Structure 1
Amino acid sequence: MPFLSSFIIDPTTDPIIDVLVDGYVWDLSETTTITWALADGLNPNHVWDDRSGAIQTFSAALATFEQFINVEFVYLGDFTSPITAGQAGADIVYTLDNSFVDDGTLAYAYYPGPEPFTNFEQYATEGGDVFMNFSNEFIASSSFQPGSDGFYTVIHEIGHAMGLKHPFDSSPGRPTLDELDQNVVRDLDWFSILSYSDQYAAELERWDPATPMVLDVLGLQFMYGVNTSTFAGDTTHALTSEDYYYTIWDASGVDRVDASGQSEGWTIFLPDFAATPLLETLSGFAMPSSQFDGTLVDSAPTEMIWLMGDIENATGSAFDDWINGTPLDNDLRGGGGNDELEGFAGNDVIDGNDGLDLAYYPGSQTSYTLTLGADAITVQDRRADGVGTDTLRNIEIVEFYSEDERQTLDLQHFGGPASLSGADLESFIELYIAYFNRAPDALGLNFWGTAFANGTTLQEMASLFIDQPEIRATYAEELSNEDFATAVYENVLGRVPDQDGFEFWVGVLDSGAVSRDQFILSVLEGAKADAPVGASQDFIDQQQADRAFLADKTDIGALYAVHRGMSDVDNAIAIMSQFDGSESSLSEAVSTIEQLYSAALDPDTGAFLMPVVGVLDNPFDAIA
């Protein structure tokens, strides 16, 4: 089997690639196979008594590379020296060298060769070979388990054998990591296995990388292409707590990362960041939230998982998690804790499950429509370049944020009307008509609808309504009982009271038997009550006219606040004032609402909309 040759690639001018790729690449134009072998050193002494253990270690190390790139590593055999291994066609040889090296070297490796890199020291096939220095105590005593300094050294040297350089070494056109934006990357081992910087240098058997890290994967995929078969189907990746850092690469499918088995809350950023335009590979990460210090570069994790490729969905732990989606359609699920979730672009499903959960949305609240439904809540970003339309379940708080402000909507106080009956929802609209003489605003209506769903009665609402400043403006305290009764009849029924009814109610008010707040509610109830036995035809006709008038006002209020979800109080007053009981005034009010709604839909100059669906039918659909 012939020994592979190599070639040189020039700097790309992309710093993320050039910081690790030194230009020497195995020539895989005719094959995707790289052979490897085990060998004793250039001296005759065996230094690794467990030969099968050595093969297992190096095979596992190469497999961590193979999952990311379009390369197959094939074991060629165990040889007495790297020279005979190279002569047999081994491209990469792990040489178990026990020669004495006293400069602290753990191991060393050569870039791919032999051509054009020919500056070898000992033999012609030295390119790609790795020499382990067993005279160094770290190497001689290591367990070589993932996370140990020994295993980290093995994969570090494979990086060189595949063409990666140290991130602190510069060469013409190729920067060091320290020259890049330190708010994004740093020269640390959990950014690259080629780094010498270890935040836990004293930990020799844990807290080191067990696979190539994010910068290594990008460099390797640039040189050798991506492995499109790794987790190509629909895959669930359990996020496991290990004593090492590792990278998950998922090539395709509909996939999920799952932290439900964790014993603390996790921070998860699904792959969303394109570090280089030279690759389509997206990057994200996951780590315990207790180890995340706001930004990656400020953190010092003992558990770190890079998430790379195509991963759409995430499940949190039973604790407080922070889960972030991608421009894809994500399914994000919290667990038992108080979770914070953000889907970003795409049409996402966001389920907080148990706990007090919060969903984030970028931009002004006025660019959004939040629709309340019996089964779910949807949040639509109306901007053309916005974040799509999400379905929310078990989310208690929604927060809209920008550089200038944060606007919070507590759905525990506003999210309940969709669980009510149509009759109940109409009763709240009638309260607004009677007490405020206007259409309800969506936010207020949804607040009181939620209060009712949580046990507040109409009578209690009436008492709370009467103390509102707006009520005092509609029904001034100095009004006589006669004027008050007249005003209520006008607002609720569009007419002056009949003399008998007027005298009865004024008498009740004068006696104090009924307070003004409950009087308004009684007039509403009377308008909808069955006619008494023996009632005259005139009474019945008047009652039917009253009901029709109140029903039209209620339909106007529902169109404004329930079906269109608008909340501007001035507009709510104006559209109700247009209605005088005639068909023409009804059409005029509906037309005005639709004009206001069209303006409110504008994503830049419009309004926050909060409609309710599935509770009331819209009688004006045919008109609209």
Structure 2
Amino acid sequence: MAFLSSIIIEPTNDPIIDVLVDGYVWDLTSSRTITWALADGLNPEHVWLDRDAALMTFGAALASIEQYIDVTFDYLGDFASPIPAGLAGADIVYTLDNAVVEDGTLAYAYYPGPEPFTDFEQYATEGGDVFMNFSAEIIASSSFQPGSDGFVTVIHEIGHALGLKHPFEGSPGRPTLDELDQSVFRDMDWFSIMSYSDQYEDELERWDPATPMVLDVLGLQFMYGVNTATNAGDTTLRLASEDYYYTIWDASGTDRADASDQSQGWTIFLPDFQPTTLVETLTGFALPSAQFAGTLVDSAPTEMIWLMGDIENATGSQFNDWINGNRFDNDLVGGGGDDELEGYGGNDVIDGGAGTDLAYFLGSNTSFTLTIGADGITMQDRRADGSGTDTLRNIELIEFYGETGADRDVLDLRQFGGPANLSGADLESFVELYIAYFNRAPDAQGLNFWGTAFANGTSLQEMASLFVGQPETLATYAEGLSNEDFATAVYGNVLGRVADQGGFDFWVNALNSGGIGRDFFILGVLEGAKAAPASDATQEFIDQQLADRDYLATKTDIGALYAVHRGMSDVNNAIQVMSLFDGSAESAANAVAAVNDLYAAALDPETGAFLMPLVGVLDNPFDAIA
């Protein structure tokens, strides 16, 4: 008799398990080994013509299953028929039955046995045995190479021999796949080797599964446990282009799905979906992007790789890839091409590589803080259940999107990421422009925009000229304002005082004569306040200049606190905090307190604001909340 018996597992009420597990399972409580044998058929005329090929095919099929489950398949030997094979202890026998021709049967197999399943037709150890019908043309002509109809037939029948049922056949308490959510899985061979449905039925030598598919792996792991040795440790998992579907299982370690050898762009979803609570295995997938129709069930791939287990990292091709992380800390590398990447949960490193690359973030931008610094750019999701804090490298575009894919908001980092390597003095000069032209603190996005323009070669003088024509400048200095009134307003905004008569006359005459424009005048006032006094300057002049310098510096520090250190961008709030400062120490403290209050509100992950702080360029002179 066979060494192993079977046990019955009742329906679990978990549809993903019950759709494939029919209840009969090998009892492996005493041993994790299932023995198998090769045998000629019961009819003396049914003999293997190429025994070596048969052994190789069945051994390869068992190996394709063994990598996922806690089972060792042990070859027992070659027998004249399945009866002596079973009596010798073979649990699964690979044998022949060429009698059925007309009904189209390619092969058949029996559930695990012999106890408690006893509904055998021919002999007592028939449970678990696999019969091939070489009278069927498809079987007779098959190469039995991975991806062929012959090979998938073999692993399909082994699925039965291990306890899997057809997904299109129900039984009490066990649904059909068509009764489940069709937006997730379909009754198709690349979801389960136990399916009869094939999108490419005329392709007999390719575009079929070469291993168990996602539903099969889950069902088998539920019955027999997981193989903890497959890809244990840190593994690079090459995503190879094959003319068949296959499943990569990774048991442990820090691993990388690598599509860098591909000759076209790929879509990669690292495992993050747990289809059933009864098996902890996470599921993802990878396939050529040209074959992905937005959802798997709407696709018809000729290449398809299921990714199952704990796979943390991914590398794309040299073409346009779509790479999606998971709940772990991911390292995602786009490679060449214009890639789209998303980290999801965890603290991820997202590196677009070459090309124009886009990073996605789920949620309104008001839940995020984008920190720009010389050491890199990070994106923090401030929500407790959000996507963590991601480090961005070689990312040109950021897109925030809603749950439904709507409410999209795109940020071009090429316009905002430049100030990190500027000097503090340069950055302060941009803050001063906002004070002089708009009489407010900068907004972080605007400040970073102009800082990037400066880093890319726009001079301060060119920036001043561009500021003059801004609508906000025209609103601050009303149309038709005389040069006298304009000069008075600038002195008030920049220095907080009325101009001295000599300086006032000099600048107004220059403006009236057309010798300078208003943009140069504003720069001149800013530069004059910071310039060293002449050697023959009076003490009164020196004292005034020191007071001017201190006034402008404090106003600049308030502006930097708001936009640089806190990264806020609400223009109305920027006006409010600057209006609180009148030159006194008390007013400076009030302005700082107002900034900190606004910042505390802006940090709220649900009702706050998008923040864009810049770190490592300016010191913060205020003792403020972090």
Same fold (TM over 0.5): yes
2:264 is the alignment partner of 1:267: no
Amino acid at match of 2:181: D
Amino acid at match of 2:418: G
Amino acid at match of 1:396: E
Partner of 1:299: 299
Partner of 2:35: 35
Task: Report the RMSD for the aligned CA atoms in angstroms.
Answer: 1.2
Amino acid at match of 1:478: G
1:51 positional shift: 1.8
Distance (Å, rounded) in 1 between the aligned partners of 2:362 and 2:109: 48
Task: For 1:127-146, list aligned pairs within 5 A.
Answer: 127-146=127-146
Partner of 1:484: 486
Are the counterparts in 1 of residues 2 and 86 from structure 2 also a CA contact under 8 Å? no
Amino acid at match of 1:381: D
Partner of 2:159: 159
Partner of 1:545: 547
Are the counterparts in 2 of residues 47 and 98 from structure 1 also a CA contact under 8 Å? no
Partner of 1:405: 407
Are the counterparts in 1 of residues 596 and 625 from structure 2 also a CA contact under 8 Å? no
Partner of 2:525: 523
Are the counterparts in 1 of residues 315 and 334 from structure 2 also a CA contact under 8 Å? yes
Partner of 1:388: 388
SS at match of 1:615: coil
Partner of 2:210: 210
Distance (Å, rounded) in 2 between the aligned partners of 1:238 and 1:378: 29
Amino acid at match of 2:618: L
Distance (Å, rounded) in 1 between the aligned partners of 2:482 and 2:99: 108
Deviations 1:357-410 (A, max 9, x none): 111111111111111111211111111121111111111111111145111111
Partner of 1:372: 372
1:555 positional shift: 0.5
1:199 positional shift: 0.3
SS at match of 2:111: coil
Partner of 2:344: 344
SS at match of 1:208: coil
1:622 positional shift: 6.6
Bigger shift: residues 154-163 or 1-10: 1-10
Amino acid at match of 2:134: F
Deviations 1:552-578 (A, max 9, x none): 111000000000001111111111111
2:64 is the alignment partner of 1:64: yes
Distance (Å, rounded) in 1 between the aligned partners of 2:363 and 2:2: 60
Amino acid at match of 1:70: D
Amino acid at match of 1:206: R
Distance (Å, rounded) in 2 between the aligned partners of 1:589 and 1:373: 26
2:596 is the alignment partner of 1:590: no
1:100 positional shift: 5.0
Deviations 1:82-140 (A, max 9, x none): 11110110000000344453211111100001111111111110000000101111111
Deviations 1:140-189 (A, max 9, x none): 11111100111111100000000000111111111111111111111000
Aligned length, in residue pairs: 624
Amino acid at match of 2:531: A
Distance (Å, rounded) in 2 between the aligned partners of 1:318 and 1:171: 48
SS at match of 1:269: strand
Partner of 1:576: 578
Amino acid at match of 2:352: G
Distance (Å, rounded) in 2 between the aligned partners of 1:200 and 1:419: 56
TM-score by length of 2: 0.98
Are the counterparts in 2 of residues 47 and 97 from structure 1 also a CA contact under 8 Å? no
Are the counterparts in 1 of residues 596 and 624 from structure 2 also a CA contact under 8 Å? no
Bigger shift: residues 351-360 or 95-104: 95-104
Identity of aligned residues (%): 78
Unmatched 5+ stretches in structure 2: none
Partner of 1:505: 507
Deviations 1:244-291 (A, max 9, x none): 000001011111100010001001111011101111111010000000
Distance (Å, rounded) in 1 between the aligned partners of 2:612 and 2:568: 7
TM-score by length of 1: 0.98
Are the counterparts in 1 of residues 442 and 562 from structure 2 also a CA contact under 8 Å? yes
SS at match of 1:140: helix
Amino acid at match of 2:44: P
Bigger shift: residues 376-385 or 45-54: 45-54
Distance (Å, rounded) in 2 between the aligned partners of 1:70 and 1:623: 54
1:50 positional shift: 2.7
Distance (Å, rounded) in 2 between the aligned partners of 1:96 and 1:540: 107
1:46 positional shift: 5.8
1:603 positional shift: 1.0
1:541 positional shift: 2.0
2:120 is the alignment partner of 1:120: yes
Deviations 1:202-229 (A, max 9, x none): 1111000000000000000111111111
Partner of 1:438: 440
Unmatched 5+ stretches in structure 1: none
1:47 positional shift: 4.1
1:34 positional shift: 0.1
Distance (Å, rounded) in 1 between the aligned partners of 2:39 and 2:102: 22
1:613 positional shift: 0.5
